[in-house]
Every structure is written in C-alpha cells, then in structure tokens.
Structure 1
Amino acid sequence: MKLKYIKFAFFAILLNSCDVLNKEPIDIISDATVWKDENLADANLTHLYGVTNVNSVFDLHSRLNVITDEARECFGWGSLLNTFTQGIITPDNISNRDYIGYWDYNIIRGYNEFLFNMENSEFNEEFKNQRMSECRFLRALHYFNLAMRLGGVPIITLPQQLEEGDLYPARNTEKEVYEFVRKELDEIIELLPPSYNTANKGRVSRFAALALKSRAMLYAGSIAKYSEVDMDGILGVPASDANFYFEESYKASKRILSEGGFSLYKKYDDKSKNYQYIFLDKDNVEIIWAKKWVQKDLGHDYDYNNQPISYKPFVASCTNPTLEMVDAYEFIDGTPGSAINYNQEIDTKELYKNKDPRFHATILYNQAFWIDAPVETHYFTINSNIATDKRDNTLFGRGKDVNNTAAGATQTGFCIKKYLKEERGIPTGLMSDTDLVIYRLGEVYLNLAEAAFELDKVDEAKNAVNEIRRRAGMPEHNAIDMEKIRHERRIELAFEGIRFWDLRRWRTAHTQLTGAFHKLTAYYIKERDTFGYLVENCQGNVKRLFAKHHYYVPLERKHVTENPNLKQNPGYN
C-alpha cells in the first residue's frame, strides 16, 4: 500500500552529511514528492535503520546481558526483564517493551513499503539496487531476530492491503524463515558495495551482509543439531540440514577473512588496553558494521549508567558482572580462572592481577584503578544517606564506609568496564557517542572456528581460536574441542549481547541460566588495612529459572487473539 503521507524522523546517527538534513524542516511530505527525490528516499531508509533492532547493548542499558550468567542489574527483581530471569513468562507479560518479546510487524511493513515504492520509482538502477539491498538486509535481520525468539513466523514481503485476504497469515516454518534470510542475503551481497566513504559510515556493506549470514547460518545449524522439530516444523530445523547451514556460515566467514580487508585490532602493545580500545576506537580495522551515535544529537546513556558510583553523583553502575563471569576468565598462564582462594585477606588488585588481559579491559573490581583513582564497588548504595554516613569526602564523598553491610555500589561487587570511556563528569541523558559494534572480525573468527569444528575441520577450528588468543596475550591451545570454542566465545564476546543467544542455540540455557549466581562481598579490615571476602548469592531469595519451553518465547496474547491463524508456542497456552 502506498502511503499518502510519510512522517520522517531524521536520524543524524547514520548519514551525517546527507543533503536532506540541510533542507528546511518539514513535518509531512507528500508521497509523490518522496519517491522522486533521492535525499528524501534516503531519509526514509535512514529512519528504517534507526528503528531496526540490532540487539543493542546500549538501547536498554545493556540489559540483555543481565538475563544471562554474565551479570545482574543493580536494581531489584521487579521489572519485566528480571521477571524473565525468574521463568515467569506468559503471553500477557511478554511484549516489545522488554526486548525479548520482539514482534514489530509495523517495522516489517515499513521495509515492505520502502521496497515497493523504490521498485516503482524512476530513480536510476544503481541507486535503486543499492538502497533496496540495504533495506532487504534490515528486513532479513528483523526476521532473524524473530526466528531466534519465536521460531517460525509469518513471512510477509509486500505491503498488505485491507481489501485483500492476506491480513491473517499463518506462521511459516522456522526453516522457511532461515531460508528466507539466507536467500535474501545471497541475492543482495553482490549488489552492496564492499565499503563506504567517511560520510556514509554506518550503511550496510557487502561484508556486513556476509557477517549477518555467518551469524544467522551458525544459529540455524545449531538449532538443527541441538533442537527438535515441533508443531509440524513451526519450531525447529530438521537435523539433516545442520551441516548445510554450518557450511553456509563457514563459507561466509571465510569470504570475509579473505576478501574483506579487515584485520584483528593490534594497535597497542598492552594487551588489556588493546582489547579495551577495540570498542572505543571508531571505525578501526576490525569493525565490519557499527551503529553510529552522535553526542547531544542522538547519543546514548551507557557511559552514565555504567560508570562506577564514585565517578558520578548518583545511581549505582547498572550492569553488575556475576562472580561466575569473573571466574570464567583464565589466568595469563592458561590455568582456570576459578582457581582462586577467596578465603584470605588480600586486595582484589592482587587477587586478580594475573587474569586474562581481557578481564582487565572488561570488568572493574574493588580497588581497580579507573581514570585517576581506585574504584570502590561496595561502599555505597542508592539507599545510603550521604549526609549522615561517615565518609572521608574523597571521590565525590564516597570514601571508605567500613563494615557497613548495607553499603554496596553494585549487587555483585563488580562493575562493567567494556565500552566505557575513561572520562570524569559524564553528563546525564543521551550524551555518549561511542559506536555500538554489531559485527567485528573477532566474532567472525569464532564463528568460523565453531562451524569448522562442526564440519570436522578440527585444525582450522583450532587455528581460528588461537588467532584470538594470540591477540589477547593468552597461551595457544594445542588441541581443540567444542568446550574450548564455547569458552572462547564467552570471554572474547562478553557483554556484546551474544551469549544469551549462544546459550539458547546450543540448548544449554536450561542448565546454565537456572539456579543461583553469586557476588563477592568485600569488607575492609581496619586494624590490618586489608580486605576479606564473602561469596554470597547475589539474588537473595530469588530463584532463576530457564525451563526447556523457554527456548521459544510466547507470542503476545493480543497477536494470537487478533489473528486466529497464529498458533501459540508450547508451554504458554
């Protein structure tokens, strides 16, 4: 259906130099005008970029991480998102608002309308092909997001008309959705340019499409191998297709490595600093596609929400890594990271000093140095009274609050460091401009390693993992297995919004995400000027639960009620 009028939200995040932004402000532009003006068509596509879900760790304060074993949130367990961690998931409490119950067919309609109007426009073929390919990428990404959450969903590729009989489509099979994603990507890869100039950074390139294919086909292969087909194929992918999808992922990864011109980021000799700046050094050699942000115009509040409490006026650091995540990091000699004796009096900077360099680039612990002073992770909570508590007036008044059991700047004793700028005075609001890395070469190496191992290419899998470990400053593996590959993904891709989906596709979430996760409570021993520790449940009396039927979330009740042809997923009727 052609729109009579289109309202535009002009997003400066993507096309900072786009001429349309220099035109007079317009609230409503006629449809006839839009599809005769390349700048206006570009503005429409820019809006679609802006509303596409890229599994952002910024958009929801990194909350995707807190429903895994990586972290918990600094506040209580009452929100819908935290309700998800308790296994309280129903068609009535799942919704787009909590990020997991993703649907948004109105956005799919936006893609379809754009493609319909572009196809029928008089723009030159090169412009049409490229812009339509970008939009088809976004639509394929959207359907991949739906499949990861819901399994099979209706595949709609044209704007629906009120007078037509297709307003109540049934669900396609999960395999059909993955096949749609694969074929769409295969058709657009050669139509997309391999790279862009500075003015167009943020657009989808040929290698971004290959990176999506690398990730999506790996997911499809895992579903085929580790899951079962149910509801006549609406859920699951036939086991016989596993190697086909692993091969498709493998080939996409190999092509990026051979043709993309990307390389692992190795700018700094200091391994920890080097890993830290992969995410802070914009458009570096490892980045395949990133979501662009513009400070003050359209920024995010990740820095403000996650800075340690001693570096901002109020509100604790939002993303609190679990002790399980901390202990997952090996020591620099390759010994298991869990081999720590917490029953001793020692400063944490000594306790953790020989950890994997990526640990020191990712997690802040008590007394770790940050910007210009040691971090205090357990002395202050939003419930503390700054006016009456006795403090030493250092670090914005958050000094040692010794042996105050109510004090605690985080719920686990740790803060996240990854993606944070080392700057004091981060203002509140959407003021940060750090790019969100969506696809990078580090993930491609690990996608390749996993797909290669599944295809019995063991040496190639080992070599790919060791490329990552060498860059990190960790000892290479002499032999490889799936456990080591999965562990390397956990560490290298920590807090990038990937682990939740990995645990789901491997069908290990019901064991990994059920039970209790822990915190490290440090207490100051004044007479000896040192610290002692308690390992405690960071959830109180709350029990985490990921049941097997949670591998697919429910369709929101209103969607099933409005469309009688939609079948609900098992376990939610």
Structure 2
Amino acid sequence: MNFKKITKKMKKFLLFIILLALFAGCENDLEKEPPFISESQIFEQEPLTEAYISDLYTRMNFQELGGLAHLGMGLFSAVGAEHVNFANWQYPNGAYRRQYTAITGPGNLDRWAYVNIREMNVLIEQLPNSSSLSQEYINSRVAEVRFLRAYEYFEMVRRFGGVPIITKVLSQDDPEEEIFPDRNTEKEVYDFIYSELNEILPAFSDAKTGAAGRVDRYTVLMLQSRAMLYAASIANFGNGPEIEGLVGISSGDAMTYYQRSYDASKAIVDSGQFSLVNDISDKVENYKSIFLNEGNDEVIFAEVFDPEIRGHSFELLATPQGFKSTWNANFPVLYDFVELFDFTDGRTGMIPRNQLTADNRWDISDFFGNRDPRFRASVFYPEVPLQGSKVYFHTSTIYDDNGTMVESSNTNELLTRPDGEQWPAAAPPRNVRNTALLLSKRFDESNQNPELGRSGQDFYLFRYAETLLNMAEASLYLGTGEALDALNEIRERAGMPLRTEATEENIRHERQIELCFEEHRFWDLIRWRAADGILNGEIKKGLVFKYYLDTNQYSITLKNGEQQERQFGPERYYLPFPQGRLADNPNLIQNPGY
C-alpha cells in the first residue's frame, strides 16, 4: 500500500467534505445548522476512517521540523552536540543554550501528547462499534492506532520519566482522580509500551508497509527494540527509582529489558525481510544512497515526505553558500563530533589538538578524505565536489607574489593554482562563520531549486542498521554472543576495519557514527547517563582553514563553534514540567532537581 498516494487521496476527500459543507451552508446561513459529521459516522465509512488515521499520522511529528522554514530540523542534533544552527535566534540553538528550571520549563524539547492520545482513544473505543466495516479492518486499524499511542508514550517517558497513562476518552463528568491523574512510574510506562506492542502484534501480517509510512509488524518490533533498550539502560546506568519510582528503574530489572529488546531485534533479523544497503562499491556513495533511494531493504519505517504534497526545507537550509539556495549554510557541524570519525586505515580520528596550530600544514584529502566513508557522506568539508563546483571553507589564501607572501581574504578575488584551477581567495562568509563544516547527510544534490518546502526525502524513524546496533548492545550485556558479528556487519558495509572485540565503548562509538544526525545521539547520551560528561562545561569547537596556494595545503586551527559554555547537570536526565502544567493538574509531581 503506497501511503504517499493514500495521503493525497485523503486530503482531496477532506477538501471535498469541507466544500460540501460550505455550499450546503449557503442556502440559508442564518437558519440552517452547519453540516457536521459525527465520530460515529466517521467510523462507519472506510474513507473517513482512513482520513482520521491519516490526520493522526500527520500529527505524530516523527521528525522535528519546527515552524518558519523548518528551522527546527536541527533541534536534536544541536542539543546532542552534533551540529548547531547558523543563528542563535533559531530555537535549536536556544534549546542547548537555555537553562532548564521549574520556571523556564522544558522549552522546545517538550512533548505532552495528550491531545493526540485523546483522538487516538476515540478511535480505539469507537471503531470496534462499527456495524458496516469488517472485523479484519477494524482490528488492523485499532492496532495501528494503538502503536501510535504507544509511540507517544515513549516520547514522553524518555523526556519526563513516569507520566499518567490514559487509555480512555475522558469527559468532564468523569471522577476527579481520572481528570487529574497521578503520574504512573517510569517502569509502568515502559511496561505499558511493551504490553501494548505485544498485544497488537498478531493483528499485523508479514507484509511490509513501513517504508511507505504505514505501521507494520516490523515497525512494532522496532519500537519494542528501541524502547526496551532505553528502559534497560536507565536501569543499568541510572541511580534507581526516585520519588517513589516516578523516575528511574531498579537495576534488578535491567536484564529483563535487555532481553525484551534483544528478542524484538532478533525477530526482525530472523525474518529475513531486511538487509543493509550494499549495492555500490564506492562506500561513500553507497552510504549516501541509503537516504536518497527510498524504499530500500534497510528502511523499516519512514515518515513520508513529498515536495508536491508535504515537503520540507532541507536543501534550502543545508546547501552551502555559493550555490542555489536563498537561505543556505544553516547546519554547522561541530569539530568535537567530527573527531569521532576514525580513518579508514585504523587511525583514530582524535588528532592531538596541540597539532592544530598556524605553523602546521595539512593535506585536506588526508585530514578529511581518508576518514570513515560515513563522515564523507555526511559532512561538507573543504573542496567537496558539489553540483559541478566545489564547496569552500577557507577564510583566506596565502601565496608567493614575486617573493612576497600575500594573504587575501577577498571573496571576489580569483587566483590560479599551480594546476591551473581557478581558486577563490576566500570562501563565502556564511560557510566559515560558525564551524567551517556543514551537514550533508540526506542532501539531494539533484534538487537544483530548493525553495521552501520543496524537498522530499523521507525521514527514517527505524532502519535495519539500528536493529543490528540494538541487538549488539543488548547481546553484550546478556552475553548471547552476537554482538561482535552485528557490529562488524555494519563496519564491513561502511568499509571500516573490523573489530576484534565487542566492547561497550566500541558499540557506543559505532552507534554515534552509523546513526549520526538521525536524532539518536542526544537520547543515547541521556539513557547511557553519559550526557553530563559530554554536554556539560564545554564550548564545542569549529575550525579555521587558511589555504596555501603554492603547496596546496591548509593550516587548520581551532575556534569556538558555540558562543557559550554548555550546561547539563544530572537533573537534566529528566525535563522539568512547566508551571502551567503543574497548575492544571495538582496531582502532577515535579521531577527531582527542579
């Protein structure tokens, strides 16, 4: 089933309903009641039910986009110190710079999904009462929406710990304890997610629809795999239950959750339905193709975008300055994160920082071009080819002019390299302003006119590489023996030297590299309880490149890629509830540390 086509049909159908209502109202606007379709009528007709479910999918916000020009696309990479946004007024930068207190609340990291959950509960309660739809159809759609509800609870529990579990449609006549519910414990929420997913799994066939944006059995298994791994990590690395278990999970439960995650991952692996994309011999181009050739065998579930129906603005924002984009250069990549990408010959990517001085010279093809192919497929760095030209990041060019060394930072001046190539004396200013490195992962070079909302790359919520990494991590702690093979299957695809041992450090490192810029790192650092060591007390770095024309080398020095020191105290492993939310529900207890 092609969900892109379904969505388009649904939107046309809803438009028809709206127009019908308007025309009907024209007969006598003052005397007639406006046409209204009751919920019971919706769930008697398949097209209306599909439109209702389509609207729920649209509200899910699987990928953070944000408001104006989709500037919020960088939110989780910014707070996870992978890249920042170009300007500090953009809210992803505000999210990593702001203080988190009881007064300031969770800011743009908030997700309080009870409006969505109420709409889901309406369908879950009322669709089974349909007298005209088949039982098979009812079962499949109820299961689908129960998945969406479980996913919303996962998004809330990883932000706040325990939250109220509400599985019925509330009304103002319900008892006060239901209208103002207490928080469930964090463990209860994770157990609810697990049991919900277990219960709905039999409703799905073996058919794969996740890559087209519709939940299937493998999507259900992947949420189990991910959510249970989160619960296991909190039990393993956290401080145990706090405030009567509202946050934290007992360490004694860790192995149970690791086993649940492992079992779900193993079920996907054993299904034989998915594999790592490995069709192109060039490892850089192969990794790029995963995110541009949609519907491939690695995609388990995608949020579907289409530039003609529901697009986003990635190329508008991500294109380096100097190419066809009215905005551009919006996602500067932090050098601290780049250091995690090792070299293909096995050298560490952590070049001693005392070597990054104005006196040293570097061959750019070694400094960057011999790093992990996943880096080269994910980051624009100096002299990367793009749309028949190159991307430049140097602030100036230094050359010998008849015995006198000259340094030019004139962006309009063209020089001639010894090989005859025309060379700009300096890069466009937006390319060098922050870190002099830019995000390129998912970048569609063929999009020559990236106006607002005209990009259509799907967002992969779940892909098979994560399945293998989840299984490797759970296997490590369970001792089942598959961790090294799963780890090396990913490294072999990437063209990187194989590991001889699966360690906690190796698995965590691989996860950050393989899933870079896919909204994982921030949440992984949270669940590993490693964020306060990596995201606290530092100003992350960028680079300054100066090009030496006569030797075709660069000097590379460090600069601050951020304007203020990051703060991440141990209380930040859970977000604070805003004061208005606490006032709305007197039984909602604030998280510890706030």
Q: Above 0.5 in TM-score? A: yes
Deviations 1:159-202 (A, max 9, x none): 1011111211110000000011000000111212322469x921
CA distance in 2 between partners of 1:103 and 1:281 (Å):
34
Note if 1:315 corresponds to 2:324.
Answer: no
CA distance in 2 between partners of 1:57 and 1:443 (Å):
22
Note if 1:357 corresponds to 2:373.
Answer: yes
Note if 1:441 corresponds to 2:457.
Answer: no
Note if 1:103 corresponds to 2:94.
Answer: no
Query: In the alignment, which of 189, 201, 212 is matched to residue 201 of structure 2?
Result: 189
Note if 1:90 corresponds to 2:101.
Answer: yes
Query: In the alignment, which of 410, 424, 428 is matched to residue 400 of structure 1?
Result: 424
Note if 1:367 corresponds to 2:351.
Answer: no
Q: SS state of the match for residue 93, structure 1?
A: coil
Q: For residue 569 of structure 2, what is the aligned residue in structure 1?
A: 547
Instruction: Give the drift of 1:67.
Output: 1.0
Q: SS state of the match for residue 315, structure 1?
A: coil
Q: For residue 506 of structure 2, what is the aligned residue in structure 1?
A: 484
Q: For residue 39 of structure 1, what is the aligned residue in structure 2?
A: 47
The amino acid that maps onto 2:156 is L
- Report % sequence identity: 32
Note if 1:115 corresponds to 2:129.
Answer: no
Instruction: Give the drift of 1:312.
Output: 2.9
**Structure 1: any 5+ residue segments left out of the alignment?**
1-10, 381-387
Q: SS state of the match for residue 317, structure 1?
A: coil
Q: SS state of the match for residue 130, structure 1?
A: helix
The amino acid that maps onto 1:214 is S
Q: For residue 155 of structure 1, what is the aligned residue in structure 2?
A: 165
The amino acid that maps onto 2:60 is T
- Structure showing greater radius of gyration is 2
Instruction: Give the drift of 1:18.
Output: 4.5
Q: For residue 377 of structure 1, what is the aligned residue in structure 2?
A: 393
Q: For residue 464 of structure 1, what is the aligned residue in structure 2?
A: 486
Note if 1:426 corresponds to 2:442.
Answer: no
Deviations 1:351-404 (A, max 9, x none): 222111111111110211223211023559xxxxxxx9651589xxx9835499
The amino acid that maps onto 2:356 is Y
* Closer/same/farther in 2, CA of residues 408 and 305 from structure 1, 3 Å limit: closer
Deviations 1:269-307 (A, max 9, x none): 111111111111110011101011111221011121111
8 Å Cα contact 1:329-1:491 kept in structure 2: yes
* Closer/same/farther in 2, CA of residues 20 and 62 from structure 1, 3 Å limit: closer
8 Å Cα contact 2:381-2:391 kept in structure 1: yes
Note if 1:348 corresponds to 2:364.
Answer: yes
CA distance in 1 between partners of 2:261 and 2:126 (Å):
32
CA distance in 1 between partners of 2:414 and 2:325 (Å):
13
Instruction: Give the drift of 1:16.
Output: 4.1
Q: For residue 450 of structure 1, what is the aligned residue in structure 2?
A: 473
Q: SS state of the match for residue 232, structure 1?
A: coil
CA distance in 2 between partners of 1:110 and 1:445 (Å):
34
CA distance in 2 between partners of 1:226 and 1:424 (Å):
44
The amino acid that maps onto 2:372 is D
CA distance in 1 between partners of 2:11 and 2:98 (Å):
47
Q: For residue 140 of structure 1, what is the aligned residue in structure 2?
A: 150
Q: For residue 325 of structure 1, what is the aligned residue in structure 2?
A: 337
Instruction: Give the drift of 1:134.
Output: 0.6
Q: For residue 439 of structure 2, what is the aligned residue in structure 1?
A: 416
8 Å Cα contact 1:133-1:188 kept in structure 2: yes
Q: For residue 53 of structure 1, what is the aligned residue in structure 2?
A: 61
Instruction: Give the drift of 1:470.
Output: 0.6
Please give the TM-score of this superposition, normalised by the length of structure 1.
Answer: 0.90
In the TM superposition, what are the counterparts of 1:100-249 in structure 2 within 5 Å?
Answer: 100-122=109-131, 123-165=133-175, 166-196=178-208, 201-228=212-239, 229-249=241-261
Q: For residue 494 of structure 1, what is the aligned residue in structure 2?
A: 516
* Closer/same/farther in 2, CA of residues 431 and 403 from structure 1, 3 Å limit: closer
Give the total of aligned pairs: 545
CA distance in 1 between partners of 2:575 and 2:209 (Å):
40
CA RMSD of aligned residues (A): 2.6
Deviates further, 355-364 or 369-378 = 369-378
Q: For residue 385 of structure 1, what is the aligned residue in structure 2?
A: none
The amino acid that maps onto 1:566 is L
Q: SS state of the match for residue 496, structure 1?
A: coil
Q: For residue 535 of structure 1, what is the aligned residue in structure 2?
A: 558
Please give the TM-score of this superposition, normalised by the length of structure 2.
Answer: 0.87
